[in-house]
């Protein structure tokens, strides 16, 4: 047992800590996403999705987006998924019911479409961003060191992107009103 | 001469008949019973137009210039490279035609006052007649092809209106339609020729085309031959030559003065006028000249043969007209333009006289049958006979015309016919086919003398077959009808002096008068000349032929053996074939009309129109739209899963397109 | 070794899984969750590219999250309303759009 661990650690040592963590948590994210879309119980799907989101938060942190990683946990996993679970429980759908996967035609279609999409996106991703607009290596990290992790995001948010910011607040207000109205028993 | 008021006022000669048409037309609609007013307007405008024509002629004679006076009134068709103006041309040729149309026309208008007196459509008749004169004058005065074509079409229209004047009877309406439709076939040829002329010379003005033609069109080449042949197709339609001659005999359904004016003196001569006007083009195309002369000669003989056995007096004269028109085309086809025009003028005189005389006879016969309430055919010669006692003036004047048409000297017809035959014979030395044409012409002259004498014998001589009760009512026509006959008689006698040959001491005045118009053609194709001895021989030969024809008729025909039409036995054998005009109409019907009707019904209507246009295009488009709509509706399932799947497919498509 | 390529690959896989989920599931709420999965994959793309193209990537993720929250709220409210009406969250029974 110890030898296995040693070999594994040696391998990961060769890789480097950052890459190791990246591949580990990517694997977790993909595996849990796959589980999420195939479980019979909606609650199980929701919980698997939460795990995926946690993994993604780690990935964000590894990619120098620490503030966003925390936001992911607080907002996405902590608020949105909780809302989902509330609604599932409210509608009493927690128990695993009969499988609601579509028939073989639907499965085939889904596989085909997502396969094609994967190929397309792979091609896009391989191309990468054009050289002309790329910043020098480590520019973002330097910015974060200079202004702080939060400050680096906050500064453009309140200067260049002030108007979208304010509009988003209006959007949230509208969503709140809409959700209240739609969910009322009697209008 | 250009600024001579008589020339600049030539537009009056158009405006007067047009005004007559408008006024008489208004009267026909509002107050058709005011016949006196109609007569005054109808005849008055023609007489005034004749006066203007004489003034223009005199001005031209005084002017001593060979240049035509071209009066442009407005720019009609400025289209790209083509410039067509509404312009009138006053020159030697158009003034001759002007005088003939307005002069003979006035006489016929006067005659019509008497002839149509009892007809309820009196005002309408004069309106149409004035309109006809208007269009005919546009035709002869036009300075370019399109203006001439306006007149050409217009006289066709008026011919239709006047032939079918008594349209209540089916046979009259059918005759009018036949005339118009057959003419249209010829008009297509005219239009094609106009297009070809424009294509090769870039213009449609007479002056420009004829001055440029020798340079631009290769003599004897395909272009000029095509142009002249297509123009001649128009002439065969308008002047009733082979193959488009079938409408003229049927046109006799119209009132007799109409037959005199349109189908003897003026409209049918438009074809001859066209050839003379385009003499430069014909001089450049010897093949076309042969075609024109050949068809003219053939038609002359063909019509003369048929005329020998017709019983209807007007039919005989109709076939005679076709035959004499054939002579005119023989003349102009030979290049003897002045000879052709000469025969046109003399023919206008004696043929109008013959038709109006026949009108007097028919008028008398109608009165007789009307008085006794009989229903016999007033135009059948078998019902006539011995009318010389009752209509002496008409009989004598018609004898004058008969001798003229037979070619007896010194009457007008002799000179003109002889000149044409001499020209044909002269050209024979150049091209042997013309000897054949000359032979056809001589045979026709023999037959002409024969059938005209036959007409006179059966109508005016021998015992009277009209019936005892009717005979008392036969009387001479009133002076308003006989007066024009006298004038035409004088012209028939004196007309020969217009172009008497130098052989007989004449000055060939018409030839010299027309020289400015025919000079260019004469330069390209000089007329052949005969030795005086040969010419005398031909002259005497012509006289002998005429005498022979008359003698044969007098000896062979037995007017006393005739029986009234109702009792006459049906014809048999050769006589029947000739009476039925060699079954030409029946042949046309079987060979042309029936196949076209079959094609229209079976193919063009049932297949193309119903199946292709209606079925495929119209209904098919509707069916396609409905099917597409149905297909679209299959997508509206309401199933969100389907919508999502389509959504994803769309995204894939957009991505694929954007990354190509 | 830069993590850009691998990150984009992971994001693509997650996105494809989300699409597959939307197409093969019939439960409306699960479909909605797969949509959220897709949004997360996109967020990952933005963050990965932000290293090369600037801090604006992070700002955009911020906005995506805000909008996702609003959308989740309203969407779930709609599902609630439909459930009250039809007593089912199975997609094949919700054919209100038919016609």
The whole-number pLDDT of residue C1 equals 56
Closest CA to B374 of B454, B473, B226, B290: B473
Rounded CA-CA distance B217/B82 in Å is 19
Could you tell me the maximum CA-CA distance found in chain A, to the nearest angstrom? 67
Give the domain range for residue A185. Answer: 138-187
Ramachandran angles phi, psi of B309, nearest 5°: -125, 15
A22 lies in the same domain as A89: yes
A50 touches chain C (CB under 8 A): no
Mutate to test the interface with C, among A148, A182, A186 (most CBs of C within 10 A): A182
Is residue A164 pLDDT above 90, yes or no? yes
pLDDT, tens digit, for every residue of B616-650?
888 889 999 999 999 888 877 777 778 888 888 99
**B504-523 per-residue burial string, b: 16 or more CB within 10 A, e: under 16:** eeeebebbebbebbbebbbe
Mean pLDDT score of chain A, rounded to an integer? Answer: 86
pLDDT, tens digit, for every residue of B92-137?
899 999 999 999 999 999 999 999 988 888 999 999 999 999 999 9
Shortest distance between the Cα of B620 and any Cα of chain C, in A, equals: 27
pLDDT, tens digit, for every residue of B287-301?
999 999 999 999 999
Which of C19, C91, C99 has the CB atom closest to B640's CB atom? C91
Which residues of chain B are within 8 Å of residue A117 when distances are taken between CB atoms? 648, 651-652, 655
CB contact under 8 A, A107 and C24: yes
Q: Which helix (H) or strand (E) holds B279?
A: helix B279-283
Rounded CA-CA distance A16/C66 in Å is 35
The whole-number pLDDT of residue B265 equals 80
Residue A147 placed within a domain: yes
Mean pLDDT score of chain B, rounded to an integer? Answer: 88
Rounded CA-CA distance B213/B196 in Å is 12
The whole-number pLDDT of residue A71 equals 94
Closest CA to B270 of B239, B293, B231: B239
Rounded CA-CA distance A124/B305 in Å is 97
Q: Which of A45, A66, A96 is the last residue of a domain?
A: A96
Shortest distance between the Cα of C96 and any Cα of chain A, in A, equals: 17
The 8 Å CB, 24+ separation contacts for B573-579 are B575/B309, B578/B305, B578/B306, B578/B308, B578/B309, B579/B309, B579/B310, B579/B311
Which residue in A has a C-alpha nearest to residue B646's C-alpha? A113
Rounded CA-CA distance B296/A173 in Å is 102
Indicate if the alpha-carbon torsion angle A119, A122, A123, A124 is positive or negative. Answer: positive
Q: Which helix (H) or strand (E) holds B256?
A: helix B256-260
A9 lies in the same domain as A88: yes
Rounded CA-CA distance B181/B594 in Å is 15
Which ipTM score applies to this complex?
Answer: 0.91
A85 lies in the same domain as A2: yes
Closest CA to B291 of B220, B226, B229: B229
pLDDT, tens digit, for every residue of B447-463?
999 999 999 998 888 88
Which residues of chain B are within 8 Å of residue C31 when distances are taken between CB atoms? 644
Output the CA–CA distances (angstroms, integers) from residue B510 to B3, B227, B281, B515, C64, in the order listed. Answer: 25, 28, 21, 8, 106
Query: Is the previous residue joined to B410 through a cis bond, with omega within 30 degrees of 0?
Result: yes
Interface of A with B in 112-151 (CB under 8 A): 113, 116-117, 120, 123-124
Residue A142 placed within a domain: yes
Paired tokens of B86: 């509404």
Write down the number of H helices and E strands in chain A: 9, 0
Task: Give the mean model confidence (pLDDT) for residues B314-338.
Answer: 91
Rounded CA-CA distance B136/B155 in Å is 6
C87 touches chain B (CB under 8 A): no
Residues sharing a CB contact under 8 Å with residue B625, sequence separation 6 or more, in sequence order: none
* Count of pairs with CB atoms under 8 A, one residue in B, one in C: 29
**pLDDT > 90: percent of chain A:** 47
**pLDDT > 70: percent of chain A:** 94
Which residues of chain C are within 8 Å of residue A110 when distances are taken between CB atoms? 19-21, 23-24
B386 or A100: which leads in pLDDT: B386
pLDDT, tens digit, for every residue of C55-72?
889 999 999 999 999 999
pLDDT, tens digit, for every residue of B460-485?
888 888 777 777 778 888 888 889 99
The length of chain A is 187
Residue C47 · residue C3 · CB < 8 Å = no
Residue A29 placed within a domain: yes
> Which letter does DSSP use for residue B239 in this model?
T
pLDDT, tens digit, for every residue of A110-119?
888 889 888 8
Q: Structure pTM?
A: 0.72
Is residue B10 pLDDT above 90, yes or no? no
Rounded CA-CA distance B247/B91 in Å is 32
Paired tokens of A133: 């607009």
Residue A171 placed within a domain: yes
Strand partners, B380: B312
Task: Give the mean model confidence (pLDDT) for residues B522-528.
Answer: 74
The domains located in chain C, with CATH, are 4-93 (1.10.287.3510)
Give the CA angle between residues B404, B405, B409 to the nearest 5°: 35
pLDDT, tens digit, for every residue of B556-590?
877 777 777 777 777 777 888 888 878 888 888 88
Write down the number of H helices and E strands in chain B: 29, 2
A90 lies in the same domain as A151: no
Binning pLDDT at 50, 70 and 90, where does residue B187 land? very high
Ramachandran angles phi, psi of B76, nearest 5°: -90, -55
CB contact under 8 A, B655 and A120: yes
Which of A52-56, B96-100, B314-318, B599-603 has the weakest average pLDDT? Answer: B599-603
Q: Where are the domains of chain B?
A: 289-432+462-539+557-565, 587-659
Rounded CA-CA distance B619/C13 in Å is 52
CB contact under 8 A, A113 and B656: no
Residue B121 gets the label, from left (phi > 0), alpha (psi -120 to 50) or beta, of alpha
End-to-end CA distance of chain C: give it in Å, rounded.
55
End-to-end CA distance of chain A: give it in Å, rounded.
65
The whole-number pLDDT of residue B500 equals 72
Residue B462 · residue B319 · CB < 8 Å = no
Residues sharing a CB contact under 8 Å with residue B518, sequence separation 6 or more, in sequence order: B276, B279, B337, B338
Which residue in B has a C-alpha nearest to residue A108's C-alpha? B645
pLDDT, tens digit, for every residue of B236-269?
999 989 889 899 999 999 999 999 998 778 888 8
Shortest distance between the Cα of C14 and any Cα of chain A, in A, equals: 6
Shortest distance between the Cα of A91 and any Cα of chain B, in A, equals: 21
Closest CA to B253 of B152, B377, B403, B111: B377
Residue B436 · residue B363 · CB < 8 Å = no
Q: Which helix (H) or strand (E) holds B82?
A: strand B82-90
A160 lies in the same domain as A78: no
Residue B140 · residue B276 · CB < 8 Å = no
Paired tokens of B502: 């130098």
pLDDT, tens digit, for every residue of B28-66?
999 888 888 889 999 999 999 999 999 988 888 887 777
Mutate to test the interface with A, among B645, B647, B657, B660 (most CBs of A within 10 A): B645
Residue A130 placed within a domain: no
> Which letter does DSSP use for residue B69 in this model?
E
Which residue in A has a C-alpha nearest to residue B651's C-alpha? A117
Task: Give the mean model confidence (pLDDT) for residues A96-102.
Answer: 71
Count up the domains in chain A and report the number.
2
Residue B107 · residue B484 · CB < 8 Å = yes
Residue B300 · residue B444 · CB < 8 Å = yes
CB contact under 8 A, C20 and A114: yes
Rounded CA-CA distance B311/B506 in Å is 39
**A82-113 per-residue burial string, b: 16 or more CB within 10 A, e: under 16:** ebbeebbeebebeeeeeebbbeeebeebbeeb
Q: What is the CATH number of the domain that holds A50?
A: 1.20.120.1200
Residue with tokens 């396969």: A115
A83 lies in the same domain as A1: yes
Coil, helix or strand for B218?
Answer: coil
Rounded CA-CA distance B395/B400 in Å is 9
The whole-number pLDDT of residue B590 equals 86
Binning pLDDT at 50, 70 and 90, where does residue A15 land? low
Which alpha helices (DSSP H) does B142-246 contain, by range? 145-163, 170-201, 206-216, 222-238
CB contact under 8 A, C24 and A172: no
Paired tokens of B32: 């058709």
Is residue C99 pLDDT above 70, yes or no? no
Shortest distance between the Cα of C30 and any Cα of chain B, in A, equals: 13
Closest CA to B39 of B105, B117, B128, B102: B117
Residue A56 placed within a domain: yes
Closest CA to A29 of C70, C29, C12, C28: C12
Which residues of chain A are within 8 Å of residue C14 when distances are taken between CB atoms? 29-30, 33, 52
Rounded CA-CA distance B222/B455 in Å is 45
Shortest distance between the Cα of B626 and any Cα of chain A, in A, equals: 30
Residue B588 · residue B246 · CB < 8 Å = yes
The whole-number pLDDT of residue B451 equals 92
Neighbours of A70 (CB within 10 A): 15
pLDDT, tens digit, for every residue of B402-420?
999 998 888 888 888 888 9
Residue A129 placed within a domain: no
Rounded CA-CA distance B469/B425 in Å is 54
Mutate to test the interface with A, among C4, C14, C25 (most CBs of A within 10 A): C25
Q: Which of A96, A129, A163 is the last residue of a domain?
A: A96
Residues sharing a CB contact under 8 Å with residue B16, sequence separation 6 or more, in sequence order: B45, B46, B48, B49, B52
Residue B465 · residue B563 · CB < 8 Å = yes
Binning pLDDT at 50, 70 and 90, where does residue B505 land? low
Is residue B169 pLDDT above 70, yes or no? yes
Coil, helix or strand for C8?
Answer: helix
Give the CA angle between residues B434, B436, B437 to the nearest 5°: 65
The 8 Å CB, 24+ separation contacts for B568-574 are B568/B382, B571/B309
A152 lies in the same domain as A74: no
SS3 content of chain C, % helix, strand, coil (to 5): 80, 5, 15
Closest CA to B114 of B354, B470, B363: B363
């Amino acid at each position: 047992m110890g030898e296995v661990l040693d070999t594994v650690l040696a391998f990961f040592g060769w890789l480097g800590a950052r890459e190791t963590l990246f591949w580990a948590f990517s694997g977790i994210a993909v595996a849990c996403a796959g589980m999420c879309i195939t479980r019979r119980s909606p609650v199980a799907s929701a919980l698997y999705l939460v795990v995926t989101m946690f993994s993604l938060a780690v990935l964000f942190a590894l990619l120098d987006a620490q503030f966003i990683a925390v936001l992911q946990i607080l907002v996405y996993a902590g608020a949105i998924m909780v809302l989902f679970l509330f609604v599932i429980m409210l509608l009493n759908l927690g128990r695993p019911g009969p499988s609601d996967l579509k028939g073989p035609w639907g499965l085939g279609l889904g596989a085909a479409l997502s396969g094609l999409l994967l190929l397309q996106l792979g091609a896009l991703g391989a191309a990468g961003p054009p050289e002309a607009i790329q910043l020098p290596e480590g520019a973002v990290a330097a910015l974060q060191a200079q202004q702080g992790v939060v400050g680096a995001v906050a500064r453009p948010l309140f200067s260049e992107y002030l108007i979208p910011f304010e509009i988003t607040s209006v959007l949230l207000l509208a969503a709140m009103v809409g959700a209240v109205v739609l969910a009322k028993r009697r209008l | 001469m250009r600024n001579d008021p008589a020339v600049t006022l030539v537009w009056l000669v158009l405006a007067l008949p047009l005004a007559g048409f408008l006024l008489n037309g208004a009267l026909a609609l509002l107050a058709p019973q005011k016949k006196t007013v109609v007569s005054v307007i109808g005849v008055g405008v023609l007489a005034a137009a004749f006066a203007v024509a004489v003034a223009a002629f005199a001005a031209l004679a005084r002017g001593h210039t060979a240049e035509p006076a071209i009066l442009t009134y407005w720019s009609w068709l400025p289209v790209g490279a083509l410039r067509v103006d509404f312009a009138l041309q006053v020159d030697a040729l158009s003034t001759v035609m002007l005088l003939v149309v307005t002069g003979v026309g006035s006489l016929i208008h006067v005659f019509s006052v008497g002839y149509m007196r009892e007809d309820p459509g009196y005002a309408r008749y004069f309106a149409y007649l004035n309109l006809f004169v208007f269009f005919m004058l546009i035709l002869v005065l036009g300075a370019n092809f399109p203006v001439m074509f306006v007149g050409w079409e217009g006289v066709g229209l008026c011919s239709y209106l006047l032939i079918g004047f008594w349209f209540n009877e089916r046979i009259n309406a059918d005759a009018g339609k036949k005339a118009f439709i057959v003419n249209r076939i010829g008009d297509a040829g005219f239009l094609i020729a106009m297009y070809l002329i424009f294509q090769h010379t870039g213009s449609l003005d007479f002056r420009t085309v004829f001055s440029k033609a020798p340079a631009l069109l290769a003599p004897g080449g395909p272009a000029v031959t095509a142009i002249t042949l297509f123009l001649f197709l128009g002439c065969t339609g308008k002047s009733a030559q082979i193959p488009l001659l079938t409408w003229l005999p049927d046109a006799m359904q119209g009132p007799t003065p109409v037959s005199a004016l349109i189908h003897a003196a003026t409209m049918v001569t438009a074809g001859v006028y066209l050839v003379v006007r385009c003499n430069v083009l014909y001089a450049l195309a010897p093949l076309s000249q042969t075609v024109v002369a050949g068809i003219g000669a053939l038609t002359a003989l063909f019509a003369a043969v048929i005329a020998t056995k017709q019983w209807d007096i007007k039919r005989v004269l109709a076939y005679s007209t076709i035959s004499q028109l054939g002579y005119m085309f023989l003349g102009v086809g030979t290049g003897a333009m002045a000879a052709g025009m000469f025969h046109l003028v003399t023919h206008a005189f004696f043929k109008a006289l013959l038709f109006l005389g026949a009108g007097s006879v028919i008028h008398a016969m109608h009165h007789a049958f009307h008085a006794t309430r009989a229903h016999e055919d007033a135009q059948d010669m078998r019902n006539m006979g011995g009318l010389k006692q009752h209509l002496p003036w008409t009989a004598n004047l018609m004898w004058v015309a008969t001798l003229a048409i037979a070619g007896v000297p010194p009457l007008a017809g002799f000179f003109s016919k002889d000149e044409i035959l001499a020209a044909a014979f002269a050209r024979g030395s150049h091209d042997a086919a013309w000897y054949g044409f000359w032979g056809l012409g001589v045979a026709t002259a023999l037959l002409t003398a024969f059938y005209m004498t036959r007409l006179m014998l059966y109508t005016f001589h021998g015992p009277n077959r009209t019936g005892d009760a009717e005979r008392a009512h036969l009387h001479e026509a009133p002076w308003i009808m006989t007066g024009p006959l006298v004038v035409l008689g004088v012209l028939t006698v004196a007309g020969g002096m217009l172009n008497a040959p130098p052989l007989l001491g004449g000055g060939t005045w018409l030839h010299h008068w027309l020289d400015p118009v025919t000079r260019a053609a004469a330069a390209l194709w000089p007329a052949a000349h005969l030795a005086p001895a040969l010419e005398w021989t031909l002259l005497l030969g012509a006289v002998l032929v005429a005498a022979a024809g008359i003698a044969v008729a007098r000896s062979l025909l037995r007017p006393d053996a005739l029986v009234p039409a109702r009792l006459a036995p049906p014809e048999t054998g050769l006589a029947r074939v000739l009476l039925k005009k060699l079954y030409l109409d029946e042949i046309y019907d079987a060979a042309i009309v029936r196949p076209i009707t079959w094609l229209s019904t079976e193919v063009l209507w049932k297949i193309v129109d119903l199946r292709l246009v209606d079925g495929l295009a119209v209904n098919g488009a509707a069916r396609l739209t409905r099917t597409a709509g149905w297909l679209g509706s299959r997508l509206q399932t309401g199933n969100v899963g389907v919508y999502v799947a389509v959504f994803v497919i769309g995204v894939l498509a957009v991505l694929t397109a954007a990354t190509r | 070794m830069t993590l850009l390529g691998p990150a984009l690959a992971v994001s693509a896989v997650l996105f494809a899984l989300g699409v597959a989920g939307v197409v093969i599931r019939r439960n409306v709420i699960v479909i909605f969750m797969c949509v959220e999965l897709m949004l997360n994959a996109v967020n990952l793309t933005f963050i990965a590219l932000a290293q090369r193209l600037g801090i604006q990537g992070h700002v955009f993720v911020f906005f995506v999250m805000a909008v996702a929250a609003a959308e989740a709220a309203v969407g779930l409210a709609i599902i609630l309303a439909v459930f009250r009406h039809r007593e089912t969250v199975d997609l094949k029974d919700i054919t209100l759009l038919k016609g």
